[in-house]
Amino acid sequence: MRKLPPLTAVRAFEAAARNENFTAAAAELGMTQAAVSYQVKALEERIGTALFLRERGRARLTPLGARLLPTLSQAFDAIEAAFVSYEAEDESLLTVTTTTTFGNTWLAWRLGGFQMKHPDLAVRLSTGDELIDIRSGDADVAIRAGSGNWEGLECHRLFPTTFTPMATPECIASIERKLGRKIQPADVADQELINRGDEWWRQWFTDNQVDFDEQVHRRPGVRLDNQANEGHAAMAGQGFALLTPLLWVGDVAAGRLAAPFPDRLSTRHWSYWLVFPPERRMVPKVKRFREWLQAEMAAAEADLRLPESN
């Protein structure tokens, strides 16, 4: 256990001794001259001897005060350097954590644009589906999917989670050739469905007045653990996946995916959120990222147009 005198008193003594003036020390510390004098007096009473010989306009050190000053000044210099080093390192790197789906399908494609806009700031992206405690300092900000009620965090809603069946244009065209007409929602139930047993399929079929056959949806099939993998399986021609349109606009534009029913969207009771500790709100790198992400998200939602398959 450390046997230290009150640090406020030690800091007041060090400033007064270095400046050789209580008024100058008060200005440096943002205190009144009387407060500095009180703290020094309290320290002198604590150690049982005088540290200053008080003279008009000047505080002259006693031999003990002169002996203590260099060591204490070096200690405060070391403390200041430690914090300056941390702040410089902290401000030069932005760490973002998010879900595998959001990271792989949307953010990773755009994050370079943020870094180019802020070349003084390095960016590290960490993806995973387990929540991490960003208050511990493992990340600066997080983008999470859920209800937005994480205790102790400031939450900014980005977009709601909607979903609709998507597959490759070739897959949809092949089905329509066999049907001899445009595909309808009821036709999807008989196709290869990725994660067929997922409750999201049950909801989408119910929302679109399609009979839901429990036996059919218990059939074996491809089961994947996140939407990013489901979307890539769909792009590989393995069938229909239920996907969030906003996350896959790039793949639709590139012709890797298509949505046969772009207006038939189901909605979950949760959204994607940008979250961070409230005390980090005005940290420059967090503020810059928040403003950039919200602008990017607004543009993405405005540009969201899912063309129907041909």
- Residue 31: pLDDT band by 50, 70, 90 thresholds? very high
pTM of the model: 0.68
Percent of the chain with pLDDT strictly greater than 70:
92
Residue 307 pLDDT exceeds 50: no
How many residues belong to the chain?
310
Q: What is the mean pLDDT of the chain?
A: 88
- Residue 164: pLDDT band by 50, 70, 90 thresholds? very high
**Tell me, what amino acid is at 80?**
E
**Strands 52-55 and 58-61, how do they pair?**
antiparallel
Predicted confidence at residue 309, as pLDDT, reads 46
* Strand, helix or coil for residue 106: helix
Which of 112, 107, 110, 134 is CA-nearest to residue 123? 112
Q: What is the mean pLDDT of residues 243-270?
A: 92
Which of 129, 154, 102, 151 is CA-nearest to residue 275? 154
| Whether the domain at 7-90 and the domain at 99-309 fall into the same CATH topology | no
**Tell me, what amino acid is at 132?**
I
**Strands 266-276 and 154-166, how do they pair?**
antiparallel
As a whole number of Å, the end-to-end CA separation of the chain is 76
Predicted confidence at residue 212, as pLDDT, reads 72
184 vs 280: CA distance, rounded Å? 49
CB-based contact 228:101 (threshold 8 Å): yes
- Who's near 2: CB < 8 A, 6+ residues apart? none
**Tell me, what amino acid is at 288?**
R
Burial readout 146-183 (b: 16 or more C-beta within 10 A, e: otherwise): bebeeeebbbbebbebebbbbbbbebbeebbeeeeeeb
Residue 310 pLDDT exceeds 60: no
Percent of the chain with pLDDT strictly greater than 90:
64
Predicted confidence at residue 101, as pLDDT, reads 93
The CATH architecture annotation of domain 7-90 reads Orthogonal Bundle (1.10)
Q: Quote the tokens at residue 232.
A: 């890539």
- Residue 86: pLDDT band by 50, 70, 90 thresholds? low
- Regarding predicted confidence, which is higher, 120 or 214? 120
19 vs 22: CA distance, rounded Å? 8
- Residue 57: pLDDT band by 50, 70, 90 thresholds? low
Q: What are the extents of the domains in the chain?
A: 7-90, 99-309
Range from 45-49, 86-90, 112-116 carrying the lowest mean pLDDT:
86-90
Predicted confidence at residue 84, as pLDDT, reads 63
User: What CATH number has the domain spanning 99-309?
Assistant: 3.40.190.290
